Amino acid sequence: MLSFRVENRKLKATSRPRPKLRPGWARVRVRFVGICNTDVELLHGYYNFRGVPGHEFVGTVEELRGVSAAQKKKWLGRRVCGEINISCRALGRRHVCNFCRRGLKTHCAHRTVLGIIGHPGAYAEYLTLPMENLHIVPDGIRDEKAVFVEPLAAACEILQQVDVGKFREAAVLGDGKLAQLIARVLETAVPRVVMYGKHEKKLGLARRAGIQTKKVRGDASDLRRVKENFPLVVEATGSPNGLALAQHITEPRGTIVVKSTFHGTAPVETWPIVVKEITVVGSRCGPFAKAIALLRSGKIDPLPLVTRIFSLASAREAIGYAQQPGVMKVLLKT
């Protein structure tokens, strides 16, 4: 099968046998892959990563191992997306870790992560995942939408962590791919959502989805220029400057949700957290079922966020294109 590996900060095409299966695992024929900023960071040396990247996918279940006939009937040939954290039980460990025992599989002490840590990802014709990670994609959701389930689930994680229904308004800092999904998710539960971003075109995408927008410069001058305050602020700029602005515009006793995972340090003073008694919540992977339900209901349509679709064979060109200014989601089709 064709796959692409990150090696020495380059994406290289390789041909290798189809992956073998452990009991309880599935082999999935990849249909579409989404290029995530994390993939770009892995390419640039984040996590000292070597291997096949890609964790946003939709595919078809092609083979299963060690499952009942009923399970086979249910899953074979079905379109699926998959949770990316692979935890103790699926890894075949006799003793499950404390976090798995508490039901926190995304924080498993021994976890591998599809296309990020220790498990080959979706920039390939086939991938493997434990059955317990898979979710069936309903027929009404086409591939180009289903490939957004993973990042949309990450946006939905905020709904699990914060009782957003009690807020009348919220701000989203950032206008990139994840910020766009977060703003759309908040918009389903909070009466007024305002996106602060640097890029007029990207802010325009948000406005077309009914989200208010404000343009900022993305530097320290924003601290003087932005006057509004919010009880809930989501930092999704992907930039070291975002957290300082988030603190600045958060009300006393407000909540900041931190979503950016840029590599490096953020230059922030922490006194505003103390003085305003701000709650800071880190937020990562989220509930797939909720993301699938939002796509199915039509409440969220991610298609306007797709800038371009490449073939898997053009993955190198595609990841280069994904880093161009103004480009939103780039997909690979196998």
Give the residues lining the site for Zn ion (CB under 5 A): 36, 38, 87-88, 97, 100, 108
Q: What is the DSSP string of 56-86?
A: EEEEEEEEE-S--HHHHHHHTT-EEEE--EE
Give the CA distances from residue 119 to residues 11, 82, 86, in Å, rounded to whole numbers and listed in that order.
17, 13, 9
**Cβ 125 to Zn ion shortest distance, Å:** 20
DSSP H or E run through 4? strand 2-7
CB of 5 to Zn ion, least distance (A): 18
Give CA–CA dist 188/193, Å, rounded: 10
Which of 46, 75 has the CB closer to Zn ion?
46
CB 153 within 8 A of CB 286: yes
- Minimum Å gap between C-beta 81 and Zn ion is 12
Q: What are the residues whose beta carbons fall under 8 Å from the beta carbon of 113, sequence distance 6 or more?
A: 55, 84, 85, 86, 119
Dihedrals phi, psi of 148, to nearest 5 degrees? -90, 0
Q: Are 143 and 47 in contact (CB under 8 A)?
A: no
For Zn ion, give the closer residue by CB, 36 or 183: 36
Choice between 38 and 260, CB closer to Zn ion: 38
| Residue whose token pair is 């679709």 | 309
Minimum distance from residue 22 beta carbon to Zn ion (Å): 16
3-state SS, residue 151: helix
- Which CB sits closer to Zn ion, 36 or 243? 36
87-93 contacts at long range (C-beta below 8 A, 24 or more positions apart): 87/111, 89/130, 89/132, 90/24, 90/25, 90/130, 90/132, 90/133, 92/22
- Closest to Zn ion by CB, 89 vs 308, is 89
143 or 169: CB nearest Zn ion = 143
- Tell the smallest beta-carbon distance from residue 109 to Zn ion (Å): 5
CA angle 75, 81, 86 (to 5 degrees): 95
Q: How far is the CB of 195 from Zn ion (least distance, A)?
A: 19
Tokens of 210: 């009914």
Smallest distance from Zn ion to CB 278, Å? 27
Cβ closest to Zn ion, residue 109 vs residue 223: 109
In order, the DSSP letters of 254-296 are: EEEEE----SS-----SHHHHHTT-EEEE-----HHHHHHHHH
Work out how close the CB of 4 gets to Zn ion at its nearest, in angstroms, rounded to a whole number: 16
Judged by beta carbon, residue 93 or residue 214, the one nearer Zn ion is 93
For Zn ion, the closer of residues 30 and 108 by Cβ is: 108
Q: Residue 36 CB, nearest distance to Zn ion (Å)? A: 3
